[in-house]
Structure 1
Amino acid sequence: MAMYFTTDTHFGHPLVSALRGFIADADIKAGYDHAVAEQGIAAAAQYVKRAANKRHLRMADIADTDAHDTAVIASINATLTPVDELWVMGDVGYRTSMEHIRHCLHAIHARRLHLVVGNHDVNFHHRELDGEWHHAFATIQDSATVTIGGVEYHLSHFPYREDMDGFRDPTGDVSDNAYDPGYAPDALPRDGHRLLFGHTHQHTKAGRQTDSLHVGLDSWGLKPVSEEQVAAWFGAVPPSPVAA
């Protein structure tokens, strides 16, 4: 049995589906693919936003959410074995029904699923609604800590609290609310532990400091991240000093 980590599956969400290249409109899909080849996936995501705005289209008009969800589930199932455990660190689904999200979760072949709650989840700030998830998740927490190779790692949907300062990535390779200080109270304070996080939808793996690793689907080719990959990443990156 091994542990895997992922976040921001966003089942049923037109915006995320389209920005990941699951696009039903043939012209916009062709433009997206060209942008990926010429400029990279982050630039392609920006192209989709511009193209939809120019044509006055909603993301729901152009996204292929079914193809997105099928691809995410297939990628997870191709990586895990049925005896493995998967930590899903928030934003399981959005702009869709709980019935659809349940269907997607039940299609994942894992021994156990664990939820770390994200800002788009129905029980974010409403933990009385945890029962909506009991059909799928063995544990439900706002944050968690796991041990990999004798080292403790924090799990949170968000980057560390100190990083939630309104920073605007000059590359544009993050979601619009990536470092929204409004979410700072929901984020963990930096305390010397290493952190696995999501929320930002960045296509790069490194956090803003070397104590943090983004494990979201956008930076790992829609694949969950293994314990071995986590240990290998931090094995090459020294810990950051804890801020005073």
Structure 2
Amino acid sequence: MTLWFTAGHHFGHTNIIALCHRPFRDSDEMDGFMVERWNATVGSNDEVWHLGNFAYRCGPNRRAAIFGSLNGRAIHLIRGNHDGKTTLSLPWATVQHYTEIRLGAEHLILFHYALRVWNKCHQGSVSLHGHSHGNLKDSVTSCDVGVDAWNFKPASLDQIRSRICSIRGL
């Protein structure tokens, strides 16, 4: 089992293509591409933390069909500013506004928004976020896991560690 992190898909949101300079003609092409990238990355036994803005301006049937087509045995949602009632009603493993998870010695803070300070930020914890669509630089303790920052696919903890280590000069 691999643990993956992602955010900001905005499935069904045509305007996000222009707003984020995504290379798609329309939301159908974008959605299909992102589902393919997700499924080529995430295995059926893997776990995914989605840090918000799963879909926007996407009908409930289409939203449910997209969710049902995604690989992963458990998909968690950290609620974003565009995750309304229809998104929240999908069969997520959990839905939260914020969470902290411990993986061995690592302490991860998961929130939709980028933070400047957080629990144990001076003791090695790392903050993962979405919302900024690749427009905020990652730091030695914070990383944007949104699709616009990761070539439209989820990122593994090893990939995130590698990105943070390169910023640290390690």
The question of whether the paired residues in 1 share the 8 Å contact of 2:55 and 2:87 is answered with: no
Q: Structure 1: which amino acid aligns with 2:129?
A: F
Q: Which runs of 5+ in 2 are unaligned?
A: none
Q: Structure 2: which amino acid aligns with 1:190?
A: W
Equivalent positions of 1:139-218 (< 5 A) are 139-160=94-115, 162=116, 189-191=117-119, 192=121, 193-202=125-134, 206-207=137-138, 209-218=139-148
Could you tell me how far apart the structure 2 residues matched to 1:228 and 1:202 are?
19
Structure with the larger RCO, 1 or 2 (CA within 8 Å, 6+ apart):
2
2:65 alignment partner in structure 1: 103
Q: Structure 2: which amino acid aligns with 1:139?
A: T
Q: Structure 2: which amino acid aligns with 1:4?
A: W
Could you tell me how far apart the structure 2 residues matched to 1:200 and 1:142 are?
17
1:74 alignment partner in structure 2: 36
The question of whether the paired residues in 2 share the 8 Å contact of 1:90 and 1:116 is answered with: yes
Deviations 1:82-119 (A, max 9, x none): 00011111001111222221111111011110000000
Higher share in helix: 1
RMSD across aligned positions (CA): 1.9
Higher share in strand: 2
The question of whether the paired residues in 2 share the 8 Å contact of 1:144 and 1:155 is answered with: yes
Q: Are 1:8 and 2:8 matched, yes or no?
A: yes
The question of whether the paired residues in 2 share the 8 Å contact of 1:149 and 1:231 is answered with: no
The question of whether the paired residues in 1 share the 8 Å contact of 2:140 and 2:165 is answered with: no
2:24 alignment partner in structure 1: 22
How many pairs align? 162
Could you tell me how far apart the structure 2 residues matched to 1:231 and 1:147 are?
14
Identity among equivalent positions (%) equals 30
The question of whether the paired residues in 1 share the 8 Å contact of 2:127 and 2:142 is answered with: yes
Q: Structure 1: which amino acid aligns with 2:88?
A: W
Q: Structure 1: which amino acid aligns with 2:128?
A: L
Could you tell me how far apart the structure 1 residues matched to 2:126 and 2:87 are?
30
Deviation at 1:203, TM superposition (A): 5.6
Which structure would you say has the larger Rg? 1
Deviation at 1:4, TM superposition (A): 0.2
Could you tell me how far apart the structure 1 residues matched to 2:159 and 2:14 are?
30
TM-score computed with the length of structure 1 as normaliser: 0.61
1:233 to 157, 163, 168: 163
1:58 alignment partner in structure 2: none
Deviations 1:137-166 (A, max 9, x none): 010000112234521110111000x4xxxx
